[in-house]
Amino acid sequence: MQTLMQSDLRLKGFTQKYTGKVREVYTLDNDVLVMVATDRLSAFDVVMPKGIPCKGQILNQIAAHMLKATADIVPNWLIATPDPNVAIGKACEPLKVEMVIRGYLAGHAAREYALGKRSLCGASMPEGMRENDPFPEPIITPATKAEQGEHDEDITPQALVARGIVSQKEYDTLVQYTRALFARGTEMADKQGLILVDTKYEFGKDTNGNIVLIDEIHTPDSSRYFYSDGYEERQDRGEPQRQLSKEFVRRWLIEHGFQGKPGQKLPNMSNAYIKSVSERYIELYEHITGQAFQKADLTNVENRIQDNLDRFFKS
């Protein structure tokens, strides 16, 4: 199975390259970033040894779709997408916080709740909730943005400001943007028969000091979706929800004895399982965008990306 696990691009004005868990970011000397979405898969802050076919294309195209659909409410970094796996945008100084917003008790919040916790990052979680129940209103549970190889850390808004990660004014702006984005994402998901359960947003400052939305939004790597159809019935019966997100990968890893903790060994993902993960990503793309997925040519994906970028910058 052909996948894009890394890139080595030749770009005029190139100054530095950052390699994240999934993306590779090239900085050019004209305050432009070239972001390549690879097919790497990360779970529990660990990159899996095998890639997922088409995953990078899917993440890149969903993110571009969502950034364009929310540009009227929040400014963002995106300029163009000259290749299915590539986004080009303006360079920003990232704010070292992930703005996580949760409409339902699921994933990390549900695991913390099951341990008896009723507060997450200073946000209250009411007594008597079942996993996948909706919160009375969405809660924001920020996390510090981890350096490579480290785990993200839950943090309260007060600690964010006290540590100087953001000012109170900046945090208030982030909250405003986060709630507006989640409302728009919820509305878009509902039209496609989905429930946007929770998600995260990342922000940065542009060269003028303005806060703008960066990175991906509303993708299966950054978000969790349930199917609307049958949600109430499953809750009433105490059954797991049908969902489109990376959570099914996390659950598979947990079932095979891995949660990213020291001493744990990564289980082997068979080709059949990897294919099923790819199909789940394609399924989410088609559901959330309402468009049929068009698989890009993977014969020589690095050459394809280089050629598309050469043509873009030449024009």
Domain map (residue ranges) of the chain: 14-92+270-314, 93-245
Euclidean distance between CA atoms 196 and 194, whole angstroms: 7
What residue has token string 């208030």?
172
Provide the pLDDT confidence category of residue 244 given band limits of 50, 70 and 90. Answer: confident
Res 147: pLDDT: 61
Tell me the whole-structure pTM to 2 decimals: 0.87
Q: pLDDT at residue 148 above 70?
A: no
- Report the alpha-carbon distance of residue 123 to residue 157 in Å, rounded: 10
User: Is CATH 3.40.50.300 what the domain over 93-245 is classified as, yes or no?
Assistant: no
Domains 14-92+270-314 and 93-245 share a fold: no
Residue 220 is predicted with a pLDDT of: 80
Q: pLDDT-based confidence at 280, cuts 50/70/90?
A: confident
Report pLDDT digits (tens) over 25-80: 999 999 999 999 999 999 888 999 999 999 999 999 999 999 999 999 999 999 99
pLDDT of residue 149 exceeding 70, the answer is no
Q: Provide the percentage of residues in the chain whose pLDDT is more than 70.
A: 98
Class of domain 14-92+270-314: alpha beta
* The pLDDT of residue 233: 98
Q: How confident is the model at residue 146 (pLDDT cuts 50, 70, 90)?
A: low
Beta strands per DSSP E along the chain: 14-19, 23-28, 32-37, 42-43, 46-47, 78-83, 86-90, 93-104, 119-120, 123-124, 134-140, 143-144, 153-154, 194-205, 211-214, 223-227, 243-245
* In contact, 245 and 239? CB cutoff 8 Å: no
Task: Assign residue 187 a region (left: φ > 0; alpha: ψ between -120 and 50; beta: otherwise).
Answer: alpha
Confidence class for position 8, pLDDT limits 50, 70, 90: very high
Assess whether pLDDT exceeds 60 at residue 86.
yes
Q: Which ranges of 74-217 does DSSP label H, i.e. alpha helix?
A: 107-114, 157-162, 168-191
Separation between Cα atoms, residue 35 and residue 28, nearest integer Å = 11
Of 118-122, 151-155, 286-290, give the range with the top mean pLDDT.
118-122
How sure is the predictor about 150, in pLDDT bands with cuts at 50, 70 and 90? low
Q: Please tell me the predicted confidence (pLDDT) of residue 152.
A: 76
- Of the given ranges (92-101, 105-114, 215-224, 302-311), which has the lowest mean pLDDT? 215-224
Lowest-pLDDT range of 37-51, 190-204, 228-242: 37-51
What's the mean pLDDT when you consider all of the chain? Answer: 93
pLDDT tens per residue, range 286-305? 988 999 999 999 888 999 99
